[in-house]
């Protein structure tokens, strides 16, 4: 069940309680691949209604350790959506202008308009993750930011934006195997960043601050999903299943043409 991947509200949990090797919702890789194709078709239909209706919007937040596959899952899972109604935004180190504003400023202006889907590769959550690991903010400031995030996501929800938060959960051994692949594969070498190895030294600290994020910021209107991601095929299947499931919950429909359009249709020769 997809709900098993939701970080529960009001319970203090550990990431170690989630298995990054888990493939429990699929009997086989082949079964998952078949399901993914059907889900992609359904996603296209749902997105078409979302775009036509212009009543709801969808924000998909991807977070994860380095090499967890944030770029890859956006490319694979959302490859079939209409680019006219979709945008992917990646957040790196804040620019001078971004750093001069509040921590939500640079992300707030990128949230989707009604009718659109936007995927965040990293997000405003970086400001309670890397900033804590590297002691740029203290615990008191982090608590304040958790409150601001809660209010921010409630604001989005109240204005018909569905917030889907996905943490791509990998193991430390899996991460180093991906780093080694990048070092030995010319087609992937460009992805290698020496900082990935430096940040790897803070693995335990990142796990701790991520757990704080999930325990403080998994809300009823915007829960965190922990996605087993050691197997890319299973990661894609679960991510796509969650996105489609959230869109199914919306009362999506094609809008009725206005009276003027109906009158013109009745005047067409073929309509008689």
What burial class does residue 169 get, using C-beta atoms within 10 Å of its C-beta: 0-12 exposed, 13-18 middle, 19+ buried? buried
Q: What is the pLDDT of residues 85-135, one digit of tens each?
A: 999 999 999 999 999 999 999 999 999 999 999 999 999 999 999 999 999
Position 10 scores a pLDDT of: 81
Q: What is the pLDDT of residues 201-229, one digit of tens each?
A: 999 999 999 999 999 999 999 999 999 99
Report residue 103 as tokens.
């921590």
The Cα diameter of the chain in Å comes to 73
Give the number of other CB atoms < 10 A from CB of residue 192. Answer: 18
pTM over 0.75: yes
Give the number of other CB atoms < 10 A from CB of residue 194. Answer: 7
**Is the model's pLDDT at 251 over the cut of 80?**
yes
Positions of E strands within 122-235: 161-169, 224-228
Residue 50 to residue 55: CA distance in whole angstroms: 7
Position 194 scores a pLDDT of: 82
Q: Which residues contact 245 (CB under 8 A, 6 or more apart)?
A: 2
DSSP 6: B
Residue 105 to residue 152: CA distance in whole angstroms: 11
φ and ψ at residue 227, rounded to 5 degrees? -100, 115
pLDDT band at 192 (very low <50, low <70, confident <90, very high): confident
Burial letters for 66-88: b for 16+ Cβ neighbours within 10 Å, e otherwise? bbbbbeebbebbbeebeeebbeb
Residue 21 to residue 232: CA distance in whole angstroms: 10
Q: What is the pLDDT of residues 49-67, one digit of tens each?
A: 999 999 999 999 999 999 9
Q: What is the pLDDT of residues 141-159, one digit of tens each?
A: 999 999 999 999 999 999 9
What is the average pLDDT across 228-243? 98
Query: Is residue 242 within 8 Å of residue 2, measured between CB atoms?
Result: yes
């Amino acid at each position: 069940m997809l709900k098993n991947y939701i970080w529960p509200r009001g319970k203090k949990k550990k990431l170690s309680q989630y298995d990054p090797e888990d493939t429990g919702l699929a009997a086989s890789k082949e079964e998952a691949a078949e399901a993914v194709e059907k889900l992609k078709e359904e996603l296209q239909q749902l997105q078409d209604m979302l775009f036509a209706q212009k009543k709801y919007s969808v924000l998909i937040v991807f977070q994860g350790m380095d090499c967890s596959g944030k770029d890859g899952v956006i490319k694979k899972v959302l490859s079939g959506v209409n680019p006219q109604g979709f945008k992917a935004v990646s957040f790196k180190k804040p620019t001078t202008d971004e750093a001069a504003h509040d921590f939500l400023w640079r992300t707030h202006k990128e949230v989707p308009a009604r009718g659109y889907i936007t995927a965040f590769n990293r997000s405003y959550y970086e400001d309670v993750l890397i900033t804590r690991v590297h002691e740029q903010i203290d615990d008191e400031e982090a608590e304040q930011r958790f409150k601001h995030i809660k209010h921010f996501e409630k604001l989005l929800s109240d204005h018909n934006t569905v917030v889907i938060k996905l943490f791509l959960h990998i193991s430390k051994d899996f991460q180093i195997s991906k780093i080694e692949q990048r070092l030995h594969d010319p087609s992937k070498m460009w992805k290698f960043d020496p900082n990935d190895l430096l940040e790897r030294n803070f693995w335990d600290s990142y796990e701790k601050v991520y757990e704080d994020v999930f325990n403080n910021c998994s809300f009823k209107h915007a829960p965190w999903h922990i996605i087993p991601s050691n197997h890319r095929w299973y990661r894609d299947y679960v991510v796509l299943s969650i996105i489609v499931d959230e869109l199914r919950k919306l009362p999506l429909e094609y809008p009725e043409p206005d009276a003027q359009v109906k009158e013109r249709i009745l005047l067409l020769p073929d309509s008689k």
